[in-house]
Amino acid sequence: MLSIARTSLQHSSRRVLSIARPIHTPCRPFTQPTPLKQAPATRNVPKIQRRNYSQIPERNSIGAFTPTSAALFVLAGVGLYFYFRHEKARLAEEREKERGLKSFGRPNIGGPFSLTTHDGKPFTEKDLNGKWSMVYFGFTNCPDICPAELDKVTAVLNNIQKEHGDIFLPVFISVDPARDTLPQMAQYLQDFHPSLVGLVGGYDETKAVCKAYRVYFSTPPNADPKGDYLVDHSIFVYLMDPKGEFVEAFGQNVSQEEIEAKINDAITEWQKETGKKV
Range of the domain at 12: 2-62
Q: Are residues 153 and 263 in the same domain?
A: yes
Q: Are residues 7 and 42 in the same domain?
A: yes
Q: Which of 74, 105, 136 marks a domain boundary?
A: 105
Residue 196 makes CB contacts below 8 A (sequence gap 6+) with 150, 153, 154, 170, 171, 172, 189
Number of domains in the chain: 3
Q: 113-170 pLDDT, tens per residue?
A: 999 999 999 999 999 999 999 999 999 999 999 999 999 999 999 999 999 999 999 9
Instruction: Find the radius of gyration of the CA atoms of the chain.
Output: 53
- HSE-up of residue 200 (Cα within 13 Å, Cβ side): 18
Average per-residue pLDDT in the chain?
82
Is 146 marked as binding a ligand? yes
Q: 267 by DSSP, 3-state: which?
A: helix
Q: 38-59 pLDDT, tens per residue?
A: 555 555 555 555 555 455 454 5
Q: Which of 62, 82, 97 marks a domain boundary?
A: 62
Q: Are residues 55 and 78 in the same domain?
A: no
Q: Are residues 162 and 123 in the same domain?
A: yes
Q: Are residues 37 and 171 in the same domain?
A: no
Q: Are residues 26 and 84 in the same domain?
A: no
**Lowest mean pLDDT across 17-31, 39-53, 146-160, 178-192:** 17-31
Q: Are residues 92 and 190 in the same domain?
A: no
Q: Are residues 30 and 48 in the same domain?
A: yes
* pTM for this prediction: 0.64
Is 142 marked as binding a ligand? yes
Q: Are residues 131 and 196 in the same domain?
A: yes
